[in-house]
């Protein structure tokens, strides 16, 4: 039975980390809310009192009768089933640790344009966002990406992946973060990337993987836009 | 061999979720940075290039020769080893999903007093913090805690715990969040708690567990203060 992914239909958002893993795994799935009446189905599950393990928010994945939520948790599930994570406990926890660190960066990237509240429009917190962007670009992006550069370096001189010799869901997620940061902050990222050859190399490797390349060229890949996590606002990319 | 927990010595912070799990498990551990020269040891590990799986930030746990970071990931490790999580995959992922949702609430609780940047003092983002607090108190705390109330309700009419019939690390973490929110926002929490009998019941149950009660009364429990995640600023508790 194909998986059912439930996520907002018009943005990449956190759902994209799950899409990338499913695509790389070649696992059949329906992107439910992008289909007719799909949003009604999504809302029905969120509101139902009969769901045994209710999600707090999308994304969530339906696998048979089970519903699994929280991006990093869904990835842990997919990783174990489809060979996108090590089989032994030590490797499994290490990949998950990397994923949770990526999740922290993703949350910060979102909060840059919504520092006051996700319940307000960007225009109503633009001034605060400019202040936040200054620190995010100068301190946080370099700190996180330099960390992942060091992780790649420590995995071996010619390491392709973050953890061991095989691709994991964390590699796919790091690719997505680089793409997102490039979209949102092209100017700041040009400066930062110059010192991150391994992170850029991983990003390039992922785009060249056949299933990912096919996916990225398809209309299943929603373009970046100003409703998602990574948003391009000129005034934030230039914040100093 | 006892575990070694590495976390900032003067705050509960994210380390506290790990401490509570270790205490409930009765697992021997050293709270390294609270001992003599402990901060030097912590920084040495953060800076060392020989650590195989480097942490991005504290808390991290040393278990034999392994170093494991990211709070929810550490809890997953402790949970499996010490019976603080279900053994089957479905239950294990459900508890982790709950933990990651708690982690989202914890991150938001921190960002209320640091909406612009964790690199700035509170006083330098006080105005933004007041705006953020208004939304956090009116919308986010109720949304999260009502969710956990529903999870408890769905676990059975007389359920004590969030998941199944046994205590898990997520229960301990929810206790900690309630304690933290009560400390930071006593006024807002009094209003909100009135509608959350099950969440309050779980909090009370946890404080009465013998090992937790002993821990809370000991000097191993660092008092809440205005350097941690949950901070009591009158102007934020009263934000409207």
Query: Interior CA angle at A106 toward B48 and B116, to 5°?
Result: 90
Q: Reply yes or no: is the peptide bond before residue A59 cis, omega within 30 of 0.
A: yes
Summarize chain B as % helix, strand, coil (round to 5).
60, 5, 35
Token output for A116? 């006051």
Q: What is the DSSP letter of B222?
A: P
Cβ of A70 and B139 within 8 Å?
A: no
Closest to A220 (Cα-Cα) out of A2, A79, A30: A30
Cβ of A136 and B117 within 8 Å?
A: yes
Measured in angstroms, the CA of A182 and the nearest CA of chain B are apart by 21
With an 8 Å Cβ cutoff, is B176 touching chain A?
A: no
Digitized pLDDT (tens) for each residue of chain B, 240 residues in all:
799 999 999 999 999 999 999 999 999 999 999 999 999 999 999 999 999 999 999 999 999 999 999 999 999 999 999 999 999 999 999 999 999 999 999 999 999 999 999 999 999 999 999 999 999 999 999 999 999 999 999 999 889 999 999 999 999 999 999 999 999 999 999 999 999 999 999 999 999 999 999 999 999 999 999 999 999 999 999 988
pLDDT digit string (tens) for A42-89? 999 999 999 999 999 999 999 999 999 999 999 999 999 999 999 999
d(CA B50, CA B58) in angstroms, rounded, equals 17
pLDDT at A219 over 90: yes
Cβ of A117 and B94 within 8 Å?
A: no
Cβ-based neighbours of A148, under 8 Å, separated by 6 or more: A98, A162, A174, A196, A199
Are residues B62 and B69 in contact, defined by beta-carbon separation less than 8 angstroms?
no
Query: Interior CA angle at B54 toward B53 and B55, to 5°?
Result: 120
pLDDT at A16 over 90: yes
Token output for B87? 């053994």
pLDDT at B88: 96
The residue of B62, B115, B120 whose CB has the most chain A CBs within 10 angstroms, and thus the best one to mutate to test that interface, is B115
d(CA A145, CA A153) in angstroms, rounded, equals 12
Q: What is the mean pLDDT of residues A169-193?
A: 97
d(CA A11, CA A176) in angstroms, rounded, equals 13
A112 CB neighbours in chain B (<8 A) are: none
Position A187 confidence tier, pLDDT thresholds 50, 70, 90: very high
B131 CB neighbours in chain A (<8 A) are: 116-117, 125, 128
Q: What is the mean pLDDT of residues A207-215?
A: 98
Q: Calculate Rg over the CA atoms of chain B.
A: 18
B100 CB neighbours in chain A (<8 A) are: 70, 72-73
Cβ of A116 and B97 within 8 Å?
A: no
B87 CB neighbours in chain A (<8 A) are: none
Are residues B94 and B161 in contact, defined by beta-carbon separation less than 8 angstroms?
no
The residue of B14, B48, B52, B73 whose CB has the most chain A CBs within 10 angstroms, and thus the best one to mutate to test that interface, is B73
pLDDT at A157: 84
Query: Which chain A residue is nearest to residue B153, measuring alpha carbons?
Result: A49
A87 CB neighbours in chain B (<8 A) are: none
With an 8 Å Cβ cutoff, is A72 touching chain B?
A: yes
Query: Interior CA angle at A177 toward A173 and A181, to 5°?
Result: 175
With an 8 Å Cβ cutoff, is B239 touching chain A?
A: no
> What separation, in Å, do the N-terminal and C-terminal C-alpha atoms of chain B show?
51
d(CA B5, CA B42) in angstroms, rounded, equals 9
Are residues A79 and A72 in contact, defined by beta-carbon separation less than 8 angstroms?
no
Pairing of strands B3-6, A66-69: unpaired
Q: Name the one residue in this structure whose structure tokens are 């933290």.
A: B180
Residue A160 to residues A18, B55, B209: CA-CA distances in angstroms?
A: 21, 20, 48
With an 8 Å Cβ cutoff, is A108 touching chain B?
A: no
Q: Which long-range contacts (CB under 8 A, 24 or more apart) does A174-177 make?
A: A174/A98, A174/A102, A174/A148, A174/A199, A174/A202, A174/A203, A175/A20, A175/A202, A175/A203, A175/A206, A175/A207, A175/A212, A176/A12, A176/A16, A176/A17, A176/A20, A177/A102, A177/A105, A177/A106, A177/A109
Q: What is the mean pLDDT of residues A161-188?
A: 98
pLDDT at B185: 98
With an 8 Å Cβ cutoff, is B75 touching chain A?
A: no
CB < 8 Å from B in window 125-144 of A: 125, 128, 131-132, 135-136, 139, 144
Query: Which chain A residue is nearest to residue B63, measuring alpha carbons?
Result: A90
Measured in angstroms, the CA of B111 and the nearest CA of chain A are apart by 8
A66 CB neighbours in chain B (<8 A) are: 90
Measured in angstroms, the CA of A124 and the nearest CA of chain B are apart by 11
d(CA A4, CA B180) in angstroms, rounded, equals 37
Cβ of A115 and B135 within 8 Å?
A: no
A-B CB pairs within 8 A amount to: 110
CB < 8 Å from B in window 146-165 of A: 147, 150-151, 154
Nearest by CB to residue B54, choosing from A107, A120, A150, is A150
pLDDT at A155: 96
B90 CB neighbours in chain A (<8 A) are: 66
With an 8 Å Cβ cutoff, is A18 touching chain B?
A: no
With an 8 Å Cβ cutoff, is A64 touching chain B?
A: no
Query: Interior CA angle at A207 toward A183 and A199, to 5°?
Result: 70
With an 8 Å Cβ cutoff, is A59 touching chain B?
A: no
* SS3 category, B51: coil
Closest to B191 (Cα-Cα) out of B137, B128, B130, B131: B137
């Amino acid at each position: 039975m194909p998986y059912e992914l439930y996520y907002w239909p018009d943005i990449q958002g956190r759902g994209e980390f799950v899409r990338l893993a499913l695509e790389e795994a070649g696992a059949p799935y329906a992107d439910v809310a992008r289909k007719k009446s799909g949003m009604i189905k999504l809302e029905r599950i969120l509101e139902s009192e009969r769901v045994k393990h209710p999600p707090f928010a999308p994304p969530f994945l339906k696998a048979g009768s089970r519903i699994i939520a929280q991006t990093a948790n869904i990835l842990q599930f997919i990783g174990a089933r489809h060979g996108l994570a090590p089989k032994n406990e030590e490797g499994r926890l290490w990949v998950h640790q990397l994923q949770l660190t990526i999740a922290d960066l993703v949350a910060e990237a979102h909060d840059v344009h919504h520092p006051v509240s996700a319940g307000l429009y960007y225009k109503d917190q633009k001034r605060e966002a400019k202040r936040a962007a200054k620190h995010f670009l100068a301190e946080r992006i370099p700190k996180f990406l330099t960390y992942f550069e060091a992780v790649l370096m420590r995995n071996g001189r010619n390491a392709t992946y973050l953890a061991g010799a095989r691709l994991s869901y964390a590699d796919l997620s790091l690719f997505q973060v680089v793409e997102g940061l490039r979209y949102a902050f092209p100017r700041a990222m040009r400066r930062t990337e110059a010192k991150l050859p391994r992170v850029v190399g991983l990003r390039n490797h992922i785009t060249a993987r056949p299933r990912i390349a096919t996916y990225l060229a398809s209309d299943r890949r929603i373009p970046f836009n100003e409703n998602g996590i990574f948003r391009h606002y000129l005034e934030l990319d230039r914040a100093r």
